[in-house]
Amino acid sequence: MHRKARRGRRRAPKRSPVAAIAGGLGELLLTAGVLVLLFVGYQLWGTGIQTAAAQSDLRSQFALQIDNEEPEEVYDGLELGAAYGILRIERFGENWEWLVVEGVEDDDLKNGPGRYPDNVHAGEIGNFAIAAHRSGHGEPFAKFPELHEGDIIEIETHTGVYRYELDTAPNGNADGNRINITDSWVVDPVPGEPRSTEPTEARLTLTTCWPRWGSSHRMYASGLLVDVEER
């Protein structure tokens, strides 16, 4: 046998160049496949871990806001990413509730549904708007197409509890209320009217991505304030 001849540092077995290149290419492809699978794992499950932790932080933050003795100051000092309120949508489940954050940047939305910071506050005249993920990051709006006209959307802030009744929604259609990325009119003070139009009604608008696992378009639902319980 030739065993004794192989001493010292191990060497690569001799292969023809073609075999070496094919083998290397094969390893690269396998590695790429594993990377893609890992990324899918990250999107499906990895992002949710961070979101769950953030939600529990936000919940304690919100409890402090409720205890605040000067309610007016809460909105004034609200920074992007801070707790804003609790969103409840019975259509998504009886105990479905998410802590809403201030802001709609990626860094805000990875922690939960976010309030468009340039829009009015909950309960005010104008368009109070919220965006949330439908895939990954806890996927709060996973069942978004199931929203129907007439559904009640509840938002609790440190000032009170506000209920809105949807007057436009996907109504169970997977492509319902699909809009383009640039259709920012849905979050205008009076949707469909020029941005400068003075609003007279208190409206809520929700946005998310379309399709669920992509973001070539957006989806929305909207409704008017029907019930208020001031704190």
Partner 1 sequence: MYAWMWRHLPGPWPLRLLIFLVVLFAVAVALFLWVFPWVEETFEINRVTVG
Contact residues for partner 1, defined by CB under 8 A? 10-12, 24, 27-28, 31, 35, 38-39, 42-43, 46, 104, 106, 109, 116, 131-137, 141, 179, 181-184, 186-187, 207-209, 214-215, 218, 220
Q: Which is nearer to partner 1, 111 or 207 (CB)?
A: 207
Tokens of 16: 């023809």
Pick between residue 66 and residue 190 the one whose CB is nearest to partner 1: 190
Encoded tokens for 17: 């160049």
Q: Residue 208: which H helix or E strand, with range?
A: strand 202-210
DSSP-derived secondary structure for 121-178? PTTSSEEEEEE--SSSTT-TTTTGGG--TT-EEEEEETTEEEEEEEEE--TT-TTTTE
Spatial distance between the Cα atoms of 99 and 45, rounded to a whole number of angstroms: 19
Q: How far is the CB of 35 from partner 1 (least distance, A)?
A: 7
Closest separation in Å from C-beta 192 to partner 1: 14
Rg (CA), the chain: 25
**What's the closest the beta carbon of residue 207 comes to partner 1, in angstroms?**
6
Smallest distance, partner 1 to C-beta of residue 123, A: 22
Nearer Cβ to partner 1, position 158 or 212?
A: 212
Of 104 and 225, CB closest to partner 1: 104
